[in-house]
Chains A and B, each alone.
Chain A
Amino acid sequence: MRHPEFVRRFIALLRKETRQMLRDRSNLAVGLLLPVALILLFGYGLSFDVKNAPVAVVLEDSSPIAREAVAGLQGSTYLAPAWVANMDAAERLLRAGDADGIVRVPLDFSRRLATGDARIQLVLNGVNSTTAQTVEGYVNGAIATWAQKQADRAGNKAPAVGRVEVVQRMWFNEAGNSTWYLVPGLIVLVLTLIGAFLTSLLIAREWERGTLESLFVTPVRPLELIFAKLVPYVVVGAIDLMLCLLAARFLFEVPLRGSLTILLLASMLYLLVSLLLGLFISGKTRNQFQASQLAMLVSFMPAMMLSGFVFDLRNVPLVIQGVAQLLPATHFMGLIKTLFLAGDHGPTILRSVAILSLYAVVLVVATQRTLRKSLD
């Protein structure tokens, strides 16, 4: 290999790619502004936590003990109870969407409490099942707290034998805060996006404009082309990564429990895979429109839906799980969530990095093949 020539050609191509990238304002906007928009959108706009959920409370039994039983709903930041006169009024609120649930204390509550089988009815608005489940959790929690106290007060009378208290504790995300697990996932999305939206256009554009034909009949080698196209976008990706990390740390206050170095290296590795996937699609389709459609379909959308960004992969059908395992995004998603919230876990790191490296190598070879100097 004649190194000086290789280097000289690479620098010439790199200069050209960088100029082209910097002169294309719209591409630059996609590369730098879209990630910022995504960070803000997902960080603030998307949250599975429910705050101040309106709940209609119907007190058919107005005894002090009944009032006390539901008093716990009030002090919480998660629920906003509204006291209504009867069930009809409550149902109207629910139908109108002004209440996410109805808590009904029936007429015989006090009487049955004495016999030990008191009931409180909870009606939930199932239109939004995620919210309904969350509200259910909060209401149950509030009433259970009261029941616990009640039991403690009566504790002396009843024997404590056989009573088990479940002490819940959520690990890694103690507050159960959804931002904590969305923001690391967001990094995956942003890094995927650069490959899907930007590098997927690069080779196809050269085919469409006929520049590749001229370039082919020069001493240029395919690998030089690939790396010259990668480097400028690796820089853009690194800037985006920094933005994401800063936002995670200072805007959303997500803890980073693993090593920052490993996180950075793994992210850059995934960025490389994502960019290469874009380039490969670009070289394969030779058409900008098709390339961007395909990149959306096989790269960005699955990274959003199937990587475990939002939905736990263990709950999806086996076939989908199989598909998900094929995505580089899935492996990086698992790794980055672990690094952020659980800390360094050797086997996870090794496995993910090995898989991503394999992808990188395979994609370099595959992309190189699409750039074989041939118009056949």
Chain B
Amino acid sequence: MSDGGATVVAEGLRKTFEAPGGGPLHAVGGVSMTLRAGELTALVGPDGAGKTTLMRMMAGLLKPDAGMLRVLDIDVAKDPQTVQDRISYMPQRFGLYEDLSVQENLDLYADLHGVPQNLRRERFGRMLEMTDMARFTDRPAGKLSGGMKQKLGLACTLVRSPDLLLLDEPSVGVDPLSRRDLWKIVQQLVDDENLSVIVSTAYMDEAERCAQVFVMHEGRLLAEGAPGALRERARGLTYVATPPSGTPARDLQARLIDAGTRIVDAVPKGGAVWFIRQPEAEERALDGLLIGIGYRSRPEELEDAFMMMLRQQQTKETHAAPEAPTPSPQAASNGNGDKPVIVVRDLVRKFGDFTAVASTSFDVARGEIFGLLGPNGAGKTTTFRMLCGLLPVSSGHLEVAGMNLRTARSQARARIGYVSQKFALYGNLTVRENLEFFGGAYGLRGQALRSRVAATIAQFGLEPAAISGLLPGGYKQRLAMATGLLHEPEILFLDEPTSGIDPLARRAFWRTITALAQAGVTVIITTHFMEEAEYCDRIAIQDAGKVLALGTPQAVREQAGLDGGADMNNAFIAIVEHGRAAGRGDGKGAGA
């Protein structure tokens, strides 16, 4: 399909910002690349790799500090408007006018791009059909769910067929179903209209669909090539190990990821552990690590190559890598024995006549990791808030740490830790000041407070004098978790803790969670990353307020009715779609 032309040519491109703490931040530090026309190109890299800055320079929204950048053979720094007249760009947060309806948003962008009326009808019809939004044209954009908003954003971007389409992380914070729909639209346009698309993403399965992949890290280009060529880097190094029955895969995963000299990366997947061997380590070295555990090699994936590149960067860099803090076992027993620490019976929450959570029941046992999954607007956050005692229940029974939340909310609260989705600590206080403040808020005083703060700093490897707001994403997340654990709660609630942090930090995060669970802390977690469900003992999938599936990841995969090889993503999509088909007509709303 490639017609040989180039859409974007960059040479020695640089863009430097002032870092929040002063000093220069090389968002893009000398990038040279040539992107081919008529195909899908992916920019991949962890947060802070410079993907967004690069995209914005291509769109003429930022001026390069040095180097040359030609888009559609136009010097974009000199003549941004000519480029902007010809491209379409979807920023990470597409700016929909929330008080305008779906149709009005589409009309606005069609008018601005000068789409003739006769073409418009056909185009709108196709967009609405592909996004499955024909029913909602009169609905204000502000009242759509997150995934729908993103689809409408894409539709607004695509009201005309541009010469080049730029998509900046279109699937961030979007559930698997909406993500799949978004990609269907893009793929169709590439096939039908020979569209040139540049997409930035943190999902390797999305990069795998592209003809050309550019891997970025901290403003530099690490690698480029077709997915197949990049995958080569991990050839012969990828394995899958099956843990002995009865032990969770995450325990084996924790052991493997701790062996950094022999193992690059390990993740639980489908009840087994997928891992990558360090190229320097011989295959024999694995035997010592996996005594009595069977393992076999598996075909390499793009994700494997990507993790290898990231790990190599990490070891090259001098600054402290996000090392997995391993909390010491805590005395978290209260003599309840095997009684579940969370009991939920027929839980209902209504907002007016809208039922956010409908008759939900489940138990969570001590030391269990329990995952709440669901598409945007499924009722996850509402359920979560009720469990933490932040939101009163409409009806039903709710027991947390042996206490009824309807009658003893504050006592129950003293025994739970809560880490919210947004960074809820004081950005202008130091790490120590934040810990001391929150420790005080949890009722710790004097010597007890001092010793807990000191222990927490040591346990999580924190830098006490650092200003909290200036910490990198993964570090902030660690601090937030440390704060939630100050008063040694029995139950830890984590609301989307891993969104917006890079894969290595996510590995470190889950390593800590595994250690906490081993120490007897019960963990309740919501997440958008379906593969993270594999770390959980049990998961619940919610949609439109109802629990559609509940059980171990294995059981949920089986319920999805897909063959054993199905990953969590596909299982999730199958279950939600099945649930929606069954519930069609009984008043379920697509938005929330």
Contacts and interface: CB of A to CB of B under 8 A. Distances in A.
B66 to A, nearest CB: 14
A219 B112 contact: yes
A249 interface: no
B56 A214 contact: no
Contacts of B85: 219
B95 A213 contact: yes
B290 to A, nearest CB: 48
A20 B156 CA distance: 18
Contacts, number: 87
B395 to A, nearest CB: 34
A218 B82 CA distance: 10
Most B-side CB within 10 Å, residue of A9, A16, A218: A218
Nearest to A209: B95
Given A12-B107, A374-B61, A211 B99 contact: no
Q: Which of A215, A217, A375 gathers the greatest number of chain B CB atoms within 10 Å? A: A217
Given A19-B104, A217-B89, A220-B112, A374 B95 contact: no
Contact of B91 (A5, A206, A214, A373): A214
A374 B81 contact: no
A65 interface: no
B480 to A, nearest CB: 25
A24 interface: yes
A218 B90 contact: no
Nearest to A224: B112
Interface residues of B, number: 35
Nearest to A206: B95
A19 B100 contact: yes
A221 B81 CA distance: 9
Given A9-B112, A16-B100, A219-B85, A373 B60 contact: yes
A216 to B, nearest CB: 6
A211 B96 CA distance: 6
Contacts of B104: 16, 19
A23 B99 contact: yes
Given A216-B84, A373-B84, A12 B95 contact: no
A215 B111 CA distance: 12
Interface centre among B85, B96, B99, B112 (most CB of A within 10 A): B112
B59 interface: yes
Contact of B112 (A24, A218, A375): A218
Contact of A375 (B62, B109, B113): B62
Contact of B61 (A15, A23, A221, A373): A373
Interface string A205-243: 010011111111111110000000000000000000000
Contact of A218 (B56, B80, B109): B109
Q: Which of A5, A209, A214, A375 has the most CB atoms of chain B within a 10 A radius of its CB?
A: A214
A118 B490 CA distance: 94
Contacts of A11: 111
B62 A12 contact: no
Interface string A1-30: 000010011011101100110011000000
Nearest to B100: A19
B63 A376 contact: yes
A210 B91 contact: yes
Q: Which of B88, B107, B114, B156: most chain A CB closer than 10 A?
A: B114
A330 to B, nearest CB: 37
Nearest to B153: A214
B345 interface: no
Contacts of B111: 8-9, 11-12
Given A12-B108, A217-B88, A218-B84, A209 B98 contact: yes
B514 to A, nearest CB: 37
B24 to A, nearest CB: 15
B348 interface: no
Nearest to B162: A217
Interface of A: 5, 8-9, 11-13, 15-16, 19-20, 23-24, 206, 209-221, 373-376
Given A13-B112, A213-B61, A374-B62, 17 more contacts: A8-B111, A9-B114, A12-B107, A19-B100, A19-B104, A24-B99, A210-B93, A211-B96, A214-B156, A214-B157, A216-B61, A216-B84, A217-B84, A217-B88, A219-B81, A220-B112, A376-B63
26 contacts: A8-B114, A9-B114, A11-B111, A13-B112, A16-B108, A19-B104, A20-B100, A23-B99, A206-B95, A210-B95, A211-B96, A213-B93, A214-B89, A214-B94, A215-B112, A216-B59, A217-B61, A217-B87, A217-B166, A218-B112, A218-B113, A219-B113, A373-B61, A374-B62, A374-B63, A375-B62
- The 6 A-B pairs at the shortest CB distance, nearest first, are namely A211-B95, A12-B111, A217-B89, A210-B95, A214-B95, A218-B112
